[in-house]
Amino acid sequence: MSETQKVAIVTGGSRGIGRAVAVRLAREGFAVAVNYAGVQADAEKVVDEIENIGGKAIAVKADVTRTADVVRLFDETEKAFGGIDVLVNSAGMMVIKPIAEMEDEIFDRTFAINVRGTFNTLKQAAKRIRSGGHIINFSTSVNPLTLPGYGAYGASKAAVEVLTSILTKEMRGRNVTVNTVGPGPTATELFFEGKTQEQIDRLANLNPFERLAKPDEIAGAVAFLVGPDGTWVNGQTLRVNGGMI
Domain range summary for the chain, segments of one domain joined by + = 7-238
% of the chain exceeding 70 in pLDDT = 99
Alpha-carbon distance of 215 to 18, in angstroms, equals 8
Residues 92 and 138 sit within 8 Å (Cβ to Cβ): yes
Q: What is the mean pLDDT of the chain?
A: 96
- At residue 3, the pLDDT reads 57
Q: Is the pLDDT of residue 94 over 90?
A: yes
Per-residue pLDDT tens for 106-118?
Answer: 999 999 999 999 9
As a whole number, mean pLDDT of residues 137-144 equals 96
Confidence of residue 131 (pLDDT cuts 50, 70, 90): very high
pLDDT tens per residue across span 39-93 = 999 999 999 999 999 999 999 999 999 999 999 999 999 999 999 999 999 999 9
Concatenated DSSP letters for the chain? --TT--EEEEETTTSHHHHHHHHHHHHTT-EEEEEESS-HHHHHHHHHHHHHTT--EEEEE--TTSHHHHHHHHHHHHHHHS---EEEE---------GGG--HHHHHHHHIIIIIHHHHHHHHHHHHPPTT-EEEEE--SSGGGT-TT-HHHHHHHHHHHHHHHHHHHHTTTS--EEEEEEE-SBSSHHHHTT--HHHHHHHHTTSTT-SPBPHHHHHHHHHHHHSGGGTT--S-EEEESTT--
Q: Which residues pair with 31 in a beta bridge?
A: 7
- What average pLDDT does range 142-162 have in this prediction? 96
- For range 20-43, the mean pLDDT: 97
CATH hierarchy code of domain 7-238: 3.40.50.720
Active site residues: 153
Mean pLDDT for 211-216 is 97
**pLDDT at position 194:** 83
Residues 6+ apart with CB under 8 A from 94: 110, 153, 190, 191, 193
Identify the band that residue 1 occupies on the pLDDT scale cut at 50, 70 and 90. very low
Distance CA 25, CA 9 (A): 10
% of residues, the chain, pLDDT over 90: 96
Task: Report pLDDT for 109.
Answer: 98
Predicted local distance difference test score (pLDDT) of residue 71: 98
Alpha-carbon Rg for the chain, nearest whole angstrom, is: 17
